[in-house]
Every structure is written in structure tokens, then in C-alpha cells.
Structure 1
Amino acid sequence: MPEKAGEPEKPGEPEEAAEPEEAVAAGKGPAGKGRATRRRGAELESAILDAAWEVLLAHGYGGFTYEAIAARAGTSRPVLYRRWAKREDMLLATLVRHLRRIEIPDTGSLRGDVLAFLREVNEDRAATAALMLVQLADYFRDTGTNFLQLRAALSPPAPGPGEVLVARAVARGELPDVPRPARVLDLPLELMRHDLLMELGALPDERIVEIVDVVWLPLLGVTGERAG
């Protein structure tokens, strides 16, 4: 009987094809002729999380079950339960693996840095904007959380991109060292996220330039030749 979404296996339920810590790979046959290979440790976990990502993209959180992921990974549900006792834990591990942290480029100027960073966000996150909005709707409803809480769970505490960008500009002498509201520091990335969610696709480059040159840099007091 298929499991209920997120329901842990009942005590005493027999393991499907009782397996040790490693799982049997989907391959068949001895040394290329029918003999299954076994995956262990990091290799096995990577295979499971890759399968979990594929299930999430295809079926959303509603279809993100131990049964579906085990079948896609070519392993058994007990192997998954030993690593992630709750479905939400497996989801977070999946997102951490596949939503990489975007490094902030250092181009030598504030304008160059923020443009390069937003272009990287545009390229890397456009495909997942719809996922966050649609595929995770059931997750937010089931857990009573929201996107901001999910983002905090995925990222260790650290200065935000805007804070890093402005601190670099201050160190270069491009900006005065004065207090600035967090809303101002976060503005370019927040505008970028908003537009990606509204468009459900990559933004044209002129929109990114507009966020930087028309909105953010003037707000920081950077214009004309000082923009870099």
C-alpha cells in the first residue's frame, strides 16, 4: 500500500528487500552482465538527493514521498528513513544540494559587482523561481512556514549580498561609511526575486541594468562617473 505523504514507516514494518547501509544500484548483471553494484556513503546519498530533486521537479511536494524517491533512486525506503526521519528534512537536504549559494563577484567596482551578481542570479535561479512558487506550495501549507523561513533554513547566518557589496564599496572609497537601512542594502536582490517570480523566467538584461542604475545606485548616492 502506498505510504501517506510524509508518514514514517511503522515500527516492525519489514524492509523491502532488506538492505544494509548501502543500496543496490539499478544496474543489472555481473560486471556488466547482470550483477548489481552497491553504493555507499556520500555516493549513495548523492544519488538519493538527485532522485529526490527529480521527483520534486516532476511532482511537487505533494508527490515528494519516500516511496517515489526510493523507486527513482533504486533503493528502499528504510535506507531513506535512516538518513532523514522526516520528509521535510529530506526536502531541505535536497534543496541545499541543488540550490547552490551564488558567490558575489569582485570586479573592482560597486556597479560591476552588483551587475555581475544579479546576472548570475538571473541565470541560475530563473528555472527554480516557478519551483519555489508552485512546487513547494504544499510544503508551506503542511508546515505552516513561508518562503522567508525556508530561505533562512537553507542558508547559514551570514551577511547578505547587499551588505557585502556595500562594505566592499566603502573599503574602496566608492561610498561613505555611514549606516544604511537593511531594506536599502537588500533592495536589488529583492527586486530581482520579485521580477523572477512574476515572470517565471529569466529577465532581460536591460531590466537588471535598470534595477542597478535607475533604482539602487541613485538610492546610495552613486551617479554618473562615480558609478564605475
Structure 2
Amino acid sequence: MATLCFIMVQKAGRPRNADLDVALIRATEELILDKGFGALSVEAITAKAGTTRPAFYRRFAGIPDLVLAVMLERFSIDLDVEFDAGNLPADLEAIQRDQVSLFEDPLVKSSLAGFLNSLHDNEQLRTAFLANFFAPRRAGVATIIRRAETRGEIPECTDVGWICDLITGPLVMRILLPGLPPLDERLVSNTVASALFALGYRSS
């Protein structure tokens, strides 16, 4: 649970009850899956978790902060460790399949639009999301690209952020906009091919 501390409200007083933190996270997951992001309320979450509003606000500034805690607890990943197949195409394919699994998760599909909308008016939450969920994934992609440079697969990449946008943007668009094709193997292949082309990949 240490990864969640940055968004939890820290106040002096009684020691924190870690079991209650977990209960709030699980209650939020269940409510999102049952009724969707829009149905979340402090009252519903605390009732399901068997706690009170004061206990909730001792831990979280609001519902979006708790949803971010859910995302971090459920989807935290170390790209640097998990994706090292020894060649760039395989690493990018693994990243894309992981991203498809993330965006296809019922909890993400039910809450992504509402959560992203909440970032517009909440600078603290936006900063926390970018620093603790978004940035580590982009840093993992950067590490994979630097490995490929070292192996001589690609020339030096001067805009890693663009590659991250290139592989993630199409997935986000298909999840957020109704009526578009699903996240399938063709999309994985096409986004990987686009990234390899943009990187100037040279197969050995």
C-alpha cells in the first residue's frame, strides 16, 4: 500500500488502519463495476466499506483521489522489469498487449472517462496521476527505447514522448469514443509498426 500514500490525506492523530484503506478501495471497485463511475458517492462507498465520512476524508481528499488509489493498487507495473525480450519489436508488442489489457479491464472501461474529466478541475489530483501512474509508464518505454539504441536497432530517439503518444493515443481514443473498432491484435500490430517506423528501426 506504500504506493498510495501520496494521495492520501496525512493528518496527526490515531494510527492509520490499513484494513480500512483496503476496504474503501474494494468498495469503490465493486461500486464502479456494479453501477459505474457516475454512481460513486462518499455515502455509498463508506456504507459498503462499513465506515464513516470522517474516516474517508482522513484518507482521501475526494472520490477521484480514491479512484486513483484503486488504479495504482490494481494496475501498477514496472515496465523496465517486465518487458525485456531482447529486441524492440517484441518489447513494444508486450507493452501494447499490456495496455490493451489495462484499457479493456471492466473497471477502467467503466471509470476512465469520468476520472479523466475530474483531472481538469483538480490540479493536485492531475499532478499525482501524471507523476505516479502516467510518468512511470512513459519512463519504462524510454528505457526500452534506450536499450534498442544500445543494441543498434534504432538511431538515437530525440522525442520519446511522441512514441508514447503514438502507441497509447489510438487505444485511448477507441475506449473513449463509442462505435469505434475494438482493441484487437490488428491495432497492436499497427501501433507497433508505426512506432518502429517512427523510430527508424533496423532489423538485424
TM-score by length of 2: 0.71
Going from structure 1 to structure 2, the CA distance change for 1:96 and 1:85 (only over 3 Å counts) comes to: same
**Rg bigger for which structure?**
1
The CA deviation at 1:205 is 1.0
Equivalent of 2:98 in 100, 120, 127: 120
Structure 1 residues not aligned, in runs of 5+ = 1-20, 23-39
1:53, 1:75 → 2: CA distance? 16
Q: Which has the higher helix share?
A: 2
Going from structure 1 to structure 2, the CA distance change for 1:138 and 1:194 (only over 3 Å counts) comes to: closer
1:189, 1:94 → 2: CA distance? 21
1:115–1:209 Cα contact (<8 Å) kept: yes
2:24–2:46 Cα contact (<8 Å) kept: yes
TM-score by length of 1: 0.65
- Corresponding position of 2:191: 211
Alignment of 1:100-179 (within 5 A): 100-101=76-77, 103=79, 104-127=82-105, 128-133=108-113, 135-136=114-115, 139=118, 143=121, 151-152=129-130, 154-155=132-133, 157-158=135-136, 159-177=138-156, 179=158
1:122–1:203 Cα contact (<8 Å) kept: yes
- Corresponding position of 1:91: 67
What is the root-mean-square deviation of aligned Cα atoms in Å?
3.4
2:88–2:148 Cα contact (<8 Å) kept: yes
The CA deviation at 1:167 is 0.8
Between the two proteins, what is the percent identity of the paired residues?
26
2:159, 2:44 → 1: CA distance? 48
How many equivalent residue pairs? 185
- Corresponding position of 2:18: 42
Cα shift readout 1:126-177 (whole Å, capped 9, x = no counterpart): 12234212x4376357x367x9767415427545343222111012221223
SS of 1:222's equivalent in the other structure is coil
- Corresponding position of 1:56: 32
